[in-house]
Amino acid sequence: MSETVAALEKALGGLKPDTALVLGSGLGDLVNEVPNPVRIPYGDLPNFLKSGVTGHAGQVVAGHLAGRPVVMLAGRAHYYEHANAAAMRPALEALAGIGVKKLILTNAAGSLEPGMGPGSVMLIADHINFSGSNPLFGEPTDRRFVGLTEAYDRGLCSAIEAAAVATGTPLHKGVYMWFSGPSFETPAEIRMARIVGANAVGMSTVPEVILARFFGMRVAACSVITNLAAGMTGSELSHQETKDMAPLGGARLAAILKRMFADGLD
Ligand code: HPA
């Protein structure tokens, strides 16, 4: 792993960001808000796993967002691509290794709430791991017993909520349920998800939250809603719909995140 940290540090020059963003579907344009960025293709970083999912770039983009140092992971490797819930472990371990202390994750998700339709943004208050997997399977040390009672950092969540208010951007708050994917859920699974307390469903983020807590980072996460979940409308779900609809909520979430950076986050 130290070779990954060394490669990343070298590429970043003297830049020492303490905050990182993982850009999911719809957030890719946020890299354009970074003037004169350093761009490093994942392929140039040892151990980094690439995403083969269309709509996901595969590069580290570093520089300043609203004047503050940041490192962005534009594109993520998913559990369903690699059959490995720890697909993002090398990338997150490298971020921790260069001194990143705060991680903000973004994703596209399906909504269980008729009043939280496509284009909405949801702050993840808590999650349900329904994948049956865990990125810490096989971790041999006692550090694997990571507490998740406060997985989502209060301070970072408050800063996101404050930035939403300041920008006049509606922000929902709810529970995200991780399904392994890559097939979408069935209507029966969505009815179950509602019964157990989920507000949105998706195929990412939860393993990264667990890993980030394992590495001692503070975490916050937001979903951009691309669709109402399976069985809630007459139509079938598709990845094309995710890609088409993500930029809508993505632009809203980008405004929130820019404001959050401008105001500073501690
Ligand atoms: N289910 C799972 N993942 C998703 C969805 C969904 O409905 N929409 C976008 N990502």
Predicted confidence (pLDDT) per residue in 104-113, tens digit: 999 999 999 9
CB of residue 201 inside a 6 A radius of ligand 1: yes
At residue 101, does pLDDT exceed 80? yes
CB of residue 118 inside a 6 A radius of ligand 1: no
pLDDT of residue 1: 65
- Given pLDDT bands bounded at 50, 70 and 90, which one contains residue 115? very high
Instruction: Give the distance (Å) from ligand 1 centre to CA of residue 29.
Output: 20
Which ligand 1 atom is at minimum distance from the Cα of 242?
9
Whole-angstrom Cα distance, residue 228 to residue 203?
Answer: 15
- Given pLDDT bands bounded at 50, 70 and 90, which one contains residue 265? confident
Mode of pairing for the β-strands spanning 59-65 and 172-178: unpaired
Average pLDDT (218-235) is: 96
Whole-angstrom Cα distance, residue 89 to residue 94?
Answer: 8
Which ligand 1 atom is at minimum distance from the Cα of 203?
3
At residue 247, does pLDDT exceed 90? yes
The residues, ordered by sequence, that sit 6+ positions from 12 with a Cβ below 8 Å of its Cβ are 38, 62, 71, 98
pLDDT of residue 56: 67
User: Out of 55-64, 177-186, 225-234, which region has the weakest mean confidence (pLDDT)?
Assistant: 55-64
CATH of 2-263, picked from 3.40.50.1580, 3.40.50.2300, 3.30.750.24, 3.40.630.40, is 3.40.50.1580
Mean pLDDT value across the chain? 95
At residue 51, does pLDDT exceed 80? no
> Can you give the residue ranges of every domain in the chain?
2-263
